[in-house]
Structures are given as structure tokens and as C-alpha cells.
Structure 1
Amino acid sequence: MWQYAFHRLWQSAVTLVLVSMIVFAGVRALPGDPATTMAGPGADQAAVDAVRADLGLDRSVPVQYLEFAEHAVTGDFGRSIRTGTPVRHMIATTLPVTVQLAVYAMLIAVLVGVIGGVLAAVYRGRWPEWVVNGFSLVGLSVPTFWLGILGVLYLSVGMGLFPASGYVSLVENPVRGLWYLTLPALVLGVTHAAVVQRQTRSSMVETLSADFVRTARAKGLGPRAVIIRYALRNSLIVVTTVIGLQLGLLIAGAVVTERVFGLPGMGKLTVDSVFTRDYPVIQAVVLVVSASYIVINLLVDVLYTLIDPRVRVSGRAQ
């Protein structure tokens, strides 16, 4: 298992290096010149050239990348072109907000999706399956921004159940922090709950028709034991893969939800940086998100051996 983990680690490292190259080149392909923006609309060419030299943008792209990679290894992503603040401080401030929102939304998605998928599979062809499938269809069809606006109008402004915007750190005040994050997490978790539900149902339907499940029933085991101990446990390989991918998407795709609810997370930081051509911030944000994807996928691969003892890894996946 440790050999397999090491094998996956070096693969992940190579992937991260390739991602950093693509991001570095892609950011510099964006239209617009940050040096011109920083120098101001009335600046002459000499002032623009001076700003470009100060930012290191007058050097060749390979030299710029090597300098960026050398500093990024130590966690130094430079300073924001827009504010002059160290980028790692900006990420350290905004990343916890996005992670808290993503984890909370994923917990809601897993709870609702797994329970709904099990019900749809067990009561196949009956009204519980129709209700659950209707929920998943709505969750996949409704845009997140529209659902967020409805939540603000009815649950916040109309009923006063949740705050319409704002953020309180869970570290400072867990109860109040959860209250502020609940509505954004519900909005963000609905779509992902629908995905988890559909995958859980599909995997459970296939497992419930397997020979070992029929054998368990023939031995006289109750429905609850058959469903939970046999069918659900053997369906978790597919479900775990989907949950890992969805968690990565949550971290990367919380931009719209954070904008709707005014959360000071990575989404707001990303949008502001793209509009101002803030190269260091854009590069750092994309690298952090890419690294989170890689770590999540690595954890999912390791979890396979814990969920299903039949899965064995030695050196590489089998």
C-alpha cells in the first residue's frame, strides 16, 4: 500500500508541474497588460516600461516561469499586482472560507444523495423512487445562481431563517458560522446531491441483483442488514469516486455561490484577479485548486482498500 501511495505521489507531482506550466503560459496569453493598468491611463511608455521591468514582465517567459517555480516550491507566490499584498496571505485568508463552504455542502450532498439513492434503489418502480428521481432532476436542471437568488428572496428576506450575506469564521463562533454558511451550502450542495443520488441508485440497483445479496437473503438476514452491510458497502467504491470528484468541483466551482452570498472566499479572489490581470494571484489560485484535486484523488484511491477488502494495491493499481 505504501509503495502504491508513493507511486501515486510522484505521478501527482508530475501532473502538478505540467499544470503549473499550462497555467503560467495561459495567464500570459490573456488580453491586456497589467503594467499599463498599474501605470495608469495617462502614463507614457517610459513609465509603463519601468513598471513592466519592476514586475519582471520584460524577461522571457521561460525565465519568468523558472523564477516563479523556484519561489512557489517554498510557498512564495509573490505579491499581488493590484494590492501589493503577499499572495500567500491572500490565499490563507480566503481559502478557509471556500474549504468550509465546500466541506459543509459536500456533507449535505452525501447525506441527501446516499439516502435518496438507497431509497430509489430499494423502492424501485414505486413512489419513493419517483420522488427522489424528481428531486435529482430538479437539482441537475436548476442553475446554482438562480437557486441562490430564490434562497435569498424566500428563506432570508421573506422568512428570515438565514442571513442573506456575510460570513463568520467557524473557528471564532462555530454556531453563528454554521448559521451563515447553511444557506450557501444548501444551494451549492443540491446539484452535487443529485449527482451522488443518481450514482448511488445505479450502483445499488446493480448490487441488489448480485448473487451474494440473494445468498444473504436466503440465509435469513433482515432487509436492513442486507441493504447496509452488503449492498451499500459494496456500492461505496463507485460512490466514493463520485464524492471525491464532486468535492474537487465544489472547491473549484464555488465562485457563483460566493458571489451571490457575498462570501470572502477564493471565488471572489479569482474573479477580481482575472478582471485586473493579477498574474501572481491567478497562478497561485489555480495551483492551489489543482493541488486540492490531486490530494482528493489520492485519498480516494487509498480509501478503496479500506472500503472493500477485495481491493489490493501493490506498486500500482490493479
Structure 2
Amino acid sequence: MNRFLIRRIPSALLVLFATSVLAFLLPRMAPGDPAAAVAGPDAGPEEIAAIRADLGFDEPWVSQYLHWLGGVLRGDFGTSYITGRSVTDLIGDRFGSTVQLALLAALFMITIGLLLGVAAGSSRRPWARSLLDLTCTTLLATPAFLTGLLLALLLGVAWQVLPVSGEVSLFDNAEIGIQYLLLPAFALALPQAASLARLIQSAMRQSRTEEYVQTAVAKGASARRVTVRHVLRNSLASALVSLGMRLGDLLGGAIVIEAIFARNGLGSLAVTSSAQRDYLVIEALILLAVGIAVLLQLLTEVGLSLLDPRIRLEGAR
């Protein structure tokens, strides 16, 4: 297992390095000047030039990147150009909100994905399979923001069952906080749950054609036992491969969902920072998102190697 992990660390570090380069370059290639945003609309060219020099924008990009990367390696992401606060503090203030949303959405995604996938993969009734296929296709074709708007209109405006905007931390009041989380988490989870269900369904259908399943059926094993002990167990390995990517997609989708439901998380911080050309905040958010995705993928591979020892043995060669 140790060798399996060690072999994957260099590729993870390479991804993070490439991400740091892109995170640094992309905001600077976008239109707009953060120095002008800091100076204000009434500032003249000389004031803007002075601010650019103070922020280090007059230096070559390579020097700026190396200076920024050195700070990142020390755990210092710099100071926001707009607010004057530490970037780490800004992200820390919003991180808990997004984590709460992502965790509940992940719980919904796994639960709904497993239920739909297993039902579609084990059902022998054509009409039931067609209905489940239609459900998954509809959920996949409907973007999260549209699902969020429909849920808000239906459950928040028409029936007024749940609140549709704002938030309350679960640590402050769990009962009220969960009410504010249900709609955005459900909207965020549905497309990913459909994707996971499709993968489980396809893997289960493929597993039923394998020899070990046919042998179990020939020995007189019940349909329930064959499904649980053989088909589903081996299909979960394929689902686990996709799970890391699905969890990463939840973080990306949280940006739009937080805007719809007026949550004060990393998504709203990303939108505000992009509009204000706050480079350091944008760079830190991109690096954080990719870092979490890389970590999730690494944990997924470890989990998959535990389910299938052949992968661990191949990775250790």
C-alpha cells in the first residue's frame, strides 16, 4: 500500500504545479486591471501606476509568479487587493458554509445514486427499467441551477415548505441550519446522483454476464444473494472510480447553487473576487479546488485498491 501511494504522489504534485501556473496566468489574461479597481473610478493614470508598482504588477510575470509561489509554499496566499484582509482568512470565513453544503449534497448523491442505480440494474421489468432510465436521463439533462430554481419556486414560494435564501450554520442551530441546506444540497446532488446511477446500472448489467455470476446462478443461489454478494459488490468498484470526480464536480457546482440560494460560501466569494479582479483570492480558490479534487481522487484510488487487490499489486510494480 505504501508503494502504491508513493507512486501516485509525483503525478499529484505535477497536477498541482500545472494548476498553480494556470491559476496565476488565467486571471491576469482576463480583461480589467485590479490596480484601477483599488484606485477607484476617479483615480488618474499616475495614481493607478503607483498602485501597480506597489502591488508588484510592474514586474515580469515570472518574477510575480515565483514570489507568489514562494508565499504559497509557506502557507501565505497574500493579502486581498480589495479588502486588505488575508486571503487565508477570507477563505476560512467562507469554507465552512461550502463544506456543509458539499457534504450534505454528497450524502444525497450517494444515497440517490445507489438507489436508482441498483433499482435500474436489478429490475427485470422492462417498464420499470424504462422509467428509471427516463428519470436518470431527465436529471442528467437538467442543469443544477435550473433544478435549484424549480425547487425554490415549488417548495419555497408555492408551498413555502423550506427557506430559499440565506443560511444558518449547523454549529449555531442545527435544526434551522439543515432547513436552509436541504434545497441547495438536493439541487446540487441530483445531476451527480443520476450520473452515478447510470454508472452503477451499466456496471451491474456487465457483471451479470461474467462467469462467476453465471456459476452462482447455476448453483441455485437466490436472485437476491447473487445481486448483493456478486453483482453489486463488484459493480461498486466502478462506481468508486467515478465518485472522486463526482465529489469534485459538487464543489464546482456549488458556485452557481450558492448564488441562487444566497449562501455566503466560497462560490459567492469566487464570483465577487472575479468581478473585482482580486487576483490573489481567485488564485487561492482555484488552487484549493484542484487540491481538494486531487486529494479526493487519491483517496478514491486507495479505496479502489482495497476493494480490488489487483490494482494495488499493479501499482506497486
Q: TM-score range by the shorter chain?
A: over 0.9
TM-fit CA distance, 1:216: 1.6
Which letter maps to 1:10?
A: P
DSSP 3-state at the match of 1:313: helix
TM-fit CA distance, 1:125: 5.0
* Identity among equivalent pairs (%): 37
Q: Structure 2: how far apart are the matches of 1:313 and 1:73?
A: 33
Question: Residues 76-155 of structure 1 correspond to what in structure 2 (within 5 A)?
Answer: 76-124=76-124, 126-155=126-155
TM-fit CA distance, 1:124: 4.3
Which letter maps to 1:128?
A: A
**Greater shift in the superposed pair: 61-70 or 158-167:** 158-167
Paired residues, number:
317
Stretches of structure 1 that go unaligned for 5 or more consecutive residues are: none
| 1:317 to 1:139, Cα distance in 2 relative to 1, 3 A | farther
- The answer for the alignment partner of 1:274 in structure 2 is 274
- The answer for the alignment partner of 1:205 in structure 2 is 205
Which letter maps to 1:186?
A: F
- The answer for the alignment partner of 1:55 in structure 2 is 55
Question: Residues 22-37 of structure 1 correspond to what in structure 2 (within 5 A)?
Answer: 22-37=22-37
Which letter maps to 1:147?
A: T
Stretches of structure 2 that go unaligned for 5 or more consecutive residues are: none
- The answer for the alignment partner of 2:241 in structure 1 is 241
**Greater shift in the superposed pair: 34-43 or 275-284:** 34-43
- The answer for the alignment partner of 2:189 in structure 1 is 189
**Greater shift in the superposed pair: 34-43 or 187-196:** 34-43
Q: Structure 1: how far apart are the matches of 2:139 and 2:297?
A: 25
Which letter maps to 2:53?
A: A
Alpha-carbon deviations, 1:108-167, whole Å to 9, x = none? 111111121111121145222122111111101222222211111110122222111111
TM-fit CA distance, 1:256: 1.1
* 8 A Cα contact 2:188 2:253, kept in partner: no
Alpha-carbon deviations, 1:203-222, whole Å to 9, x = none? 00000121111212223322
Q: Structure 1: how far apart are the matches of 2:92 and 2:110?
A: 27
Q: Structure 2: how far apart are the matches of 1:301 and 1:149?
A: 35
Q: Structure 2: how far apart are the matches of 1:49 and 1:210?
A: 69
DSSP 3-state at the match of 2:311: coil
Q: Structure 1: how far apart are the matches of 2:205 and 2:28?
A: 49
Question: Residues 262-301 of structure 1 correspond to what in structure 2 (within 5 A)?
Answer: 262-301=262-301
**Greater shift in the superposed pair: 53-62 or 196-205:** 53-62
TM-fit CA distance, 1:190: 0.9
DSSP 3-state at the match of 1:59: coil
DSSP 3-state at the match of 1:253: helix
Alpha-carbon deviations, 1:79-126, whole Å to 9, x = none? 111111111011112122222212211211111111211111211452
Q: Structure 1: how far apart are the matches of 2:313 and 2:64?
A: 40
* 8 A Cα contact 1:255 1:266, kept in partner: yes
Alpha-carbon deviations, 1:48-86, whole Å to 9, x = none? 111112211111111111111111112211111111111
**Greater shift in the superposed pair: 120-129 or 254-263:** 120-129
TM-fit CA distance, 1:317: 6.2
* 8 A Cα contact 1:103 1:247, kept in partner: no
Q: Structure 1: how far apart are the matches of 2:91 and 2:309?
A: 39
* 8 A Cα contact 1:256 1:267, kept in partner: yes
* 8 A Cα contact 2:204 2:232, kept in partner: yes
TM-fit CA distance, 1:187: 0.7
DSSP 3-state at the match of 2:312: coil
| 1:317 to 1:125, Cα distance in 2 relative to 1, 3 A | farther
Q: Using structure 1 for the length normalisation, give the TM-score.
A: 0.95
- The answer for the alignment partner of 2:170 in structure 1 is 170
Q: Structure 1: how far apart are the matches of 2:178 and 2:169?
A: 9
| 1:290 to 1:317, Cα distance in 2 relative to 1, 3 A | farther
- The answer for the alignment partner of 1:19 in structure 2 is 19
DSSP 3-state at the match of 1:240: helix
Q: Structure 2: how far apart are the matches of 1:21 and 1:313?
A: 34
- The answer for the alignment partner of 1:232 in structure 2 is 232
DSSP 3-state at the match of 1:312: helix
DSSP 3-state at the match of 2:74: coil
1:250 has 2:250 as partner: yes
Runs (4+) of structure 1 moved beyond 3 Å? none
